[in-house]
Amino acid sequence: MHADDFRHDNYGVVSGLRDGGYSDDMTLAAIAGAHKRLITSPPVAVFPHPIASDLTFSRYWNYLRKQTFVLESYISTVNWLMNRALFLTHFYLSWGFVAPYFMAMVHVAAALQIYIKGYSYGETTCTSGGLLLAIWLAISTFTELLSMWNLTRIEVQLCNILSPEAPKLSLDYYNWSMIFVAMLVDNFLYPISAFWSHFSQTINWSGIRYNLKNGKIHK
Could you read off the pLDDT of 146-158 as tens digits, one per residue?
998 998 898 889 8
- The DSSP bridge partners found for residue 213 are 216
Shortest CA distance to 23 belongs to which of 70, 69, 74, 83?
70
In a domain, 113, yes or no: yes
φ, ψ (nearest 5 deg) of residue 168: -70, 135
pLDDT at 191 (0 to 100): 93
109 or 47: which leads in pLDDT: 109
pLDDT at 22 (0 to 100): 56
pLDDT at 202 (0 to 100): 87
In a domain, 66, yes or no: yes
In a domain, 132, yes or no: yes
In a domain, 114, yes or no: yes
Burial of 109 (0-12, 13-18, 19+ CB in 10 A): exposed
Domains: count for the chain? 1
Q: Is the pLDDT of residue 181 over 80?
A: yes
In a domain, 109, yes or no: yes
In a domain, 35, yes or no: no
Could you read off the pLDDT of 39-69 as tens digits, one per residue?
776 666 666 677 777 888 888 898 889 888 8
Highest mean pLDDT: which range of 84-88, 106-110, 184-188? 184-188
Mean pLDDT of 103-123: 77
Full residue range of the structural domain in which residue 56 is found: 46-207
Mean pLDDT of 16-37: 70
